[in-house]
Amino acid sequence: MDLPQTTTEPTSYVHDRETADDSLAFLRDGYAYGTRRFERFGTDAFRTRLLGRPTVVVHGREAAAMFYDPRSMTRAGAIPTSVAHLLQDDGSVQTLEDAAHDHRKAAFLRLLGDAEAARMAEASGRAWAAAAAREAGRTRSLYDLGVEVLTRAALEWTGLPAGSADPRRLAGPLAEMVDAAARVGPRNWIARLRRRRVERWAEAVLGMVRDGELEVPAGSPISVVAGLHDHDGSQPPLDIAAVELINLLRPIVAVARYVAFTGHALERHPHWRETLRGDAAARHRFVQEVRRFYPFFPVIAGTVRRGFTWREHEFEVGKRVVLDLYATNHDERIWTHPGRFDPDRFITWVYDPDALVPQGGGDAATGHRCPGEGATIALMERFLEFATADPAPYTVPPQDLRISLRRIPALPQDRMLVTLAE
C-alpha cells in the first residue's frame, strides 16, 4: 500500500541509521526528545529503538496524516502495558479497528456532540461557582480544584443519580490514571489498583442500569453506555462497558491539566484578561492556543498493520511508529514563531486536521482522533469565562510558575496556585 506522498518539503526523508536504545534519552529529554533529534538529523522522521523495539519517530503535518490514515496503524501492542492499562485497556474503542471501531466510535461522537459539550460545560460552570464559594479565602492549586470541579461536572453530565457515585472518591483515581501513566514502579501500580476499584464501581452501576435497578434519564450518557451494542449486534460485556464509561470520565477530569495551563497563560499574559471577558471568539482563540502551546500528551504510538512506503521508507507490518504530537504542534513549517504564545494566530487559521494535533489528527469518525475535542474546548472556554469574570474570582500568590518539559505529563511546578476571593 502506498500512502499519499509529497515532495514539497526539503526535510522529507527518514534518518535511517538505527541508534542504541533511546529509552533513557526519552526520559531525560521529555517533550523535547523528538524535536532535538529532528533538528539534529534535519529530517521529519528517524529510526531508533525505544523500550527495546525498533521504532520510527515522526512529526509534522504529513507524518500526522500518514499516522492517522485508518488503514495504516493499530494501537495494539504499541505502548507499554503500564501506560495502556491506565489510559485505555483491553476492548476499548482505542483497541478496535475498521467496522468495529467505527461503530463504537459513532456512539462516542453522538455522545460528545455540540449540544452535549455545551451541557457538560454548563455543569462545569455551576461546579466552578460552587467551588469558588466553598473555597473562599483559601489557596488551592487550579489543577486540584479543576480535578474536583470536573469530576462533579462529569458525573452530573452522565446522568448518574446522586448517591450512585461519590465525586470525592472518584476524583483522585480518575486524575491518577493520567498523572501516573508515564510512571514506572509503585506509583503506577497503585494507580492501576485504584483504577480496578473504579472499574468495579462502573461495572456495578452499569449492571444496575441494565437490570433496571437504577433509573437514569433516557438518552443520558450513562444509559447510552449501558445500552451499547456493537457492529455485529452483540452487547459488550459489562467490563468493556465499564472501560468505556471510564473513557468518558477520565478525560473530562484530565481537562484539569488544561485548566491549570489556561490559568498559567492568563497569568503570563495578563493583557488578554480584558479582551477575554466580553469576547467569546477571543476565548476560543485563547483556548486553541493553550491546546497548541502547552505540553500534554507528548506522543502517540502505533503498530503498522498493513505495510506501506512513506518518504521512500518501508514501514513493515509490526513496526512501531511514534507520532510526536508536541513537535507537530511546535513545527515552524506550520506555525510562525511556534514558541510564542499568540492566540491571534487563530484569526486567520484555516482548519487542518493534521496540523493542530494535541488530541490526535485525521478524522475522528474513522480514525483514533479524540472524540472529545469539542467538549474539551467547551470546558476550557467555560473556565476562562469564570476566571476572567469581574470581580476576579481569584488572585495569584507568588509561586514557581515554571513548567518542566522533562516531566510527563507536565504541570506548572506549584500546580498553578490561586487564592479564591472572599
Whole-angstrom distance, CA of residue 405 vs CA of residue 45: 21
Whole-angstrom distance, CA of residue 149 vs CA of residue 157: 12
Instruction: Name the one range near ligand HEM by CB under 6 A: 45-53, 144-152, 223-231, 371-379.
Output: 371-379
Instruction: Name the one range near ligand HEM by CB under 6 A: 168-176, 207-215, 251-259, 266-274.
Output: 251-259
- Interaction of residue 254 with ligand HEM, rule CB under 6 A: yes
Q: Which CB atom, from 12 or from 366, has the smaller least distance to ligand HEM?
A: 366
- Interaction of residue 288 with ligand HEM, rule CB under 6 A: no
- Give the residue among 231, 238, 288 at the shortest CA–CA distance from 265: 288
Q: Which CB atom, from 177 or from 282, has the smaller least distance to ligand HEM?
A: 177
Place of cell 512529526: 59
Q: How far is the CB of 401 from ligand HEM (least distance, A)?
A: 21
- Interaction of residue 261 with ligand HEM, rule CB under 6 A: no
Total binding residues for ligand HEM by CB under 6 A?
25
Binding mask 337-366 for ligand HEM (x = CB under 6 A): ---------------------xxx------
Place of cell 513545527: 331
Closest residue by beta carbon to ligand HEM: 372
- Interaction of residue 296 with ligand HEM, rule CB under 6 A: yes
Which of 70, 146, 343, 371 touches ligand HEM (CB under 6 A)?
371
Q: How far is the CB of 335 from ligand HEM (least distance, A)?
A: 18
Which of 119, 140, 345, 368 touches ligand HEM (CB under 6 A)?
368
Q: How far is the CB of 295 from ligand HEM (least distance, A)?
A: 10
- Interaction of residue 224 with ligand HEM, rule CB under 6 A: no
- Interaction of residue 258 with ligand HEM, rule CB under 6 A: yes
Q: How far is the CB of 370 from ligand HEM (least distance, A)?
A: 3
Whole-angstrom distance, CA of residue 422 vs CA of residue 406: 36
Which of 75, 152, 382, 415 touches ligand HEM (CB under 6 A)?
75
Q: Which CB atom, from 15 or from 75, has the smaller least distance to ligand HEM?
A: 75
Which of 252, 260, 290, 322 touches ligand HEM (CB under 6 A)?
252
In the complex, the residues that contact ligand HEM under the rule CB under 6 A are 75, 93-94, 105, 108, 112, 247-248, 251-252, 254-255, 258, 296-297, 300, 358-360, 368, 370-372, 375-376
